Amino acid sequence: MHFGRRAFTLGGLAALTTSAVLPGGAMAATSAQAESLVDKLVADINKVIASGQSESAMIKEFERIFKKYADLPTIAATALGVDGRRASASQKKAFTDAFTGYIARKYGKRFREFIGGAIAVTGTQTVKNAFQVNGIMTLRNEAPFDVTFFVGQKSGKFYNLYLEGVNMLLTERTEIGAMLDKRRGDIDAMIVDLRKAG
């Protein structure tokens, strides 16, 4: 599988986390299905990277990919953290929509840097209600490094990612928390700004 350097790092996937991509909308009930999800995700991203489209067109494609493969409601809820308890239903929906676009822009702008790499899945293990899909990313002229996807058994989608030990969910929670702090906890103001961030 071809991919590139740090595509899912601090500023980037998702999400990366909405219908399952498994046959018939089934759950990711086996490790093989979880690995298949990761294979398809990486292949789709590589296709966009190699397409030669404009950055804006690529970002639209990445947003489509995230909606297809990532459990975005879970990723967004985790990123919002405890502030989600005081958010209304409409605010949560608006935040999830804004967060999806933010993730696509944030990671999509970096993907062009990552052409020429390859991810090899090395194994899968069950962790609570999820599958941990472990892999190695190999790049030209750089040392290989670990990448780990977490795929929910019920959602059939990935909801978190570790890259060289960096936890995507915790990183985005920190980012969103900082945005809220700057706006004195105003969720609506943060959502407005999030639509332009990334």
3-state secondary structure of 53: coil
> At 178, which amino acid appears?
A
Residues 43-72, mean pLDDT to the nearest whole number:
86
Between these two residues, 86 and 47, which has the higher pLDDT value?
Answer: 86
Please state, as a whole number, how many other Cβ atoms lie within 10 Å of the Cβ of residue 73.
18
DSSP string computed for 118-138: EEEEEEEEEETTEEEEEEEEE
The CATH number covering residue 93 comes to: 3.10.450.710
Under DSSP, the state recorded for 154 is T
pLDDT digits (tens, 9 = 90+) for 61-110: 989 998 999 999 899 999 999 999 999 999 999 999 999 999 888 877 76
Domain that holds residue 17: 2-194
Provide the pLDDT for residue 185: 94
pLDDT digits (tens, 9 = 90+) for 118-163: 778 888 999 988 999 998 877 777 788 888 999 999 889 999 988 7
Provide the pLDDT for residue 28: 56
Q: How would residue 29 be classed by pLDDT, with cut points 50, 70 and 90?
A: low
Between these two residues, 115 and 64, which has the higher pLDDT value?
Answer: 64
Q: What is the number of domains present in the chain? A: 1
Provide the pLDDT for residue 90: 96
Q: How would residue 194 be classed by pLDDT, with cut points 50, 70 and 90?
A: very high
pLDDT digits (tens, 9 = 90+) for 5-24: 333 333 333 333 333 334 33
Residues 6+ apart with CB under 8 A from 192: none
Residues 48-59, mean pLDDT to the nearest whole number:
82
Instruction: Work out the burial of residue 59: count CB atoms within 10 Å of its CB; fewer than 13 is exposed, 13-18 middle, 19 or more buried.
Output: buried
Please state, as a whole number, how many other Cβ atoms lie within 10 Å of the Cβ of residue 162.
18
